[in-house]
Structure 1
Amino acid sequence: MQDQLLTQLLRQRLRFSKRIQSADAAVLIAITDEADPKILLTRRSLYMNNHAGEVSFPGGKRDLNDTSNIVVALREAWEETALNPFDVTLLGDLPMEKSRTGILVKPIVGLIPPHVSLIPQPTEIDRIFFASLRQMMEAKPSPYEVRLPKQSIYFPSFRIENEVVWGLTARILISLFRYGLNYKKQWPFLLNSPAFQSKFID
């Protein structure tokens, strides 16, 4: 698949679900509209109560005044990164995901210009960066250790732009590859290496 065809394929395959379900939260998958498309990602502040220091999409919880999942995603992206909602060409959504805290999250997909001016909201975001869609599709999964009081659990992850992508963000990307690009990325449930005997948990 040639890179210049990736955004064309996203335009062709993605639609908004006819069955509308209000989510607890929504994220925006903002992809640059260019020959080598890139996805807008953020690293959450270490001072956040939930998912501190993790790579994520711009997004967050629904407010009482939010009228749709799309509104949630665009508002949160504006608040976190100063991405102008009018710079986003909406393409569709992806299936609902559930966070490990039980929150229902709706991914919204859109295209943005390649050179947008963004500013991280300092109380929420430590870093804004763009990662190549092609490189994430081809990145090999590796174990990411999460230490619990009595054991360690190894989640599937991959590295991009000196960051580790795992958990909900990784699952949403796998969904984007599948539904938006007809690309089934290998995402293991078991780690074969004898050095690690824990299951991959997706």
Structure 2
Amino acid sequence: MQDDLLTQELQQRLRFSKIIKPANAAVLIAITNESDPKVLLTRRSVYLNNHAGEVSFPGGKRDPSDTSNIVVALREAWEETALNPFDVQLLGDLPMERAKSGMTVKPVVGLIPADINLIAQPSEIDRIFFVSLRKLMESKPIPYEVRLAHQSLYFPSLRVENEIVWGLTARILISLFQYGLNYHKSWPFLLNSPAFKSKIFNKITDH
């Protein structure tokens, strides 16, 4: 699929769920409306208590006053990046995801102007950056080591713009490719040892 057809495909395929379930949190997948569409990503502040320094979509927890998952996603994007909700052309949502904390997370997808001016909220965001949607689709998964008390676990990840995209953010991207673009990206399961990691990723990169 040509780059300039990606946004058209998203507009044709994405819809909002008919059965609405309030999620504990929501994120906004904001994609620039241009011939080479780009995905808005952020790097969370290293001073946060949860997921410090990780790459994520703008988003966060539901407030008592929030009336819908869409409101959560747009409000959080505004608070974190100064993205005006009126600059977002909403396209639809993706299936509910569950974070490792157990919270349910609803991804909301929208198009934004290519020349939009954003400002990071320094208490929450260290960096705002954009990555080509095509590049994300075609990037090969690489192992990312997460060290726990007694072992290391290896998760599939993407390395883009000198950042590592893994975990929930990566899973949401895979969901976007599948439901928004009918693109099924090879994505391995958890890799539980260096030997197994090497074996699996050798198979992936050989194809």
TM-score range, shorter chain: over 0.9
C-alpha change, 1:195 and 1:153, in structure 2 (3 Å) is closer
Matched with 1:175 is 175
Gaps of 5+ in 1: none
Deviations 1:155-193, CA, capped at 9 Å, x for gaps: 01010111000000000000000000000000012659x
Matched with 2:42 is 42
Query: Is the Cα–Cα contact under 8 Å of residues 159 and 165 in structure 1 kept in the other structure?
Result: yes
**4+ residue runs of structure 1 moved beyond 2 angstroms?**
194-200
1:111-190 superposed matches below 5 A: 111-189=111-189
Matched with 2:20 is 20
Paired amino acid for 1:3 = D
Report SS of the residue matched to 1:128: strand
Number of equivalenced pairs = 199
Deviations 1:45-96, CA, capped at 9 Å, x for gaps: 0011111000000000000000000000000000000000000000000000
For the residues of structure 1 that align with 2:144 and 2:56, how far apart are their CA atoms?
Answer: 16
Matched with 2:203 is none
Matched with 2:94 is 94
Query: Is the Cα–Cα contact under 8 Å of residues 153 and 198 in structure 1 kept in the other structure?
Result: no
Matched with 1:51 is 51
Query: Is the Cα–Cα contact under 8 Å of residues 153 and 190 in structure 2 kept in the other structure?
Result: no
Query: Is the Cα–Cα contact under 8 Å of residues 153 and 191 in structure 2 kept in the other structure?
Result: no
Deviations 1:10-57, CA, capped at 9 Å, x for gaps: 000000000000000000000000000000000000011111000000
Q: TM-score, normalised by structure 2?
A: 0.93
Matched with 1:66 is 66
Gaps of 5+ in 2: 201-207
Query: Is the Cα–Cα contact under 8 Å of residues 44 and 124 in structure 1 kept in the other structure?
Result: yes
C-alpha change, 1:186 and 1:64, in structure 2 (3 Å) is same
Paired amino acid for 2:91 = L
Paired amino acid for 1:196 = A
Q: TM-score, normalised by structure 1?
A: 0.95
The alignment yields a C-alpha RMSD, in angstroms, of 1.6
Report SS of the residue matched to 1:197: helix
Paired amino acid for 2:185 = K
Paired amino acid for 1:73 = A
Paired amino acid for 1:107 = P
Paired amino acid for 1:58 = P
